[in-house]
Structure formats: C-alpha cells, structure tokens
Amino acid sequence: MLCPGFVQVSKQITVGSTLEPLSTYKGTQYYAVVLVFRDPKNGNWWMSFGDGPGYWPSELFKSLATKAGKVAWGGLVFSPTNEPSPPMGNGHRPFEEGDTDLNACHFKKLKLVNDKIQAI
C-alpha cells in the first residue's frame, strides 16, 4: 500500500487486514496462496489471494510497463510511535527448534511467471 493508486476489488479481503484462521505454534498450519502478476491484456499489476484484493493500474508505472526486474517478499510489524516493535509472528525463527515448518511463519513454493502467466 506504499504505492498510491491501488484499486481495491474485493469487499471481503482488504490489503492490511488479518487473514484467518491463524496458524498455531507447532500446531495446525494455514497457508495463503498469493499471486502478483502483470495482466498481459491491459498491463495492470494484480495482487490476488482468495477473491481479492485488487490491482495497480498500468498507467502508474513506467519501468514496469512490460516486466518486473526484481521480486521481493517480506513482512512488517507495527507498534505505536516510541514503543518497542513486537516480534514478527510468534517470535520464533524458522527451523531453530528442529527441521520443521511448524515453528514460524514462512514463504513457501515461490514461483515467477512469464507474460502468459505460466510458472517459469
């Protein structure tokens, strides 16, 4: 949402909202499938998971007119001004307590797609 002009499409899922259900430490894990892609017909850049949320119109971008040169994933935590920042997620690092993906939030099965929206 740091890029102005995002067009929210979904009324159920909004950027910045909490996705539920939540995974539990060393317990049941839930995954969200997130897609970010350029629509080859109109050049809009879509961010999609579930039935939303929306896109950035093509006219917002000059350097992304045909493709992206870099892809990055990450996360942020927020706290009030002058307050210490809380740990991300449950505060545990992936794999620090054994070779399992039940310990901490993580990205999995990341893929890049070509202009036909096919995984490469």
Per-domain residue ranges of the chain: 1-74+109-120
When pLDDT is cut at 50, 70 and 90, the band that residue 1 belongs to is low
Average pLDDT over the chain, rounded to whole? 79
Three-state helix/strand/coil letters over the chain: CCCCCCEECCCCCCCCCCCCCCCCCCCCCCCCCCEEEECCCCCCEEEEECCEEEEECHHHCCCCCCCCCCCCCCCCCCCCCCCCCCCCCCCCCCCECECCCCCCCCCCCCCCECCCCCEC
pLDDT of residue 99: 61
> Which pLDDT tens digit goes with each residue over 36-75?
888 888 989 888 877 778 999 999 888 777 778 777 777 7
pLDDT of residue 3: 67
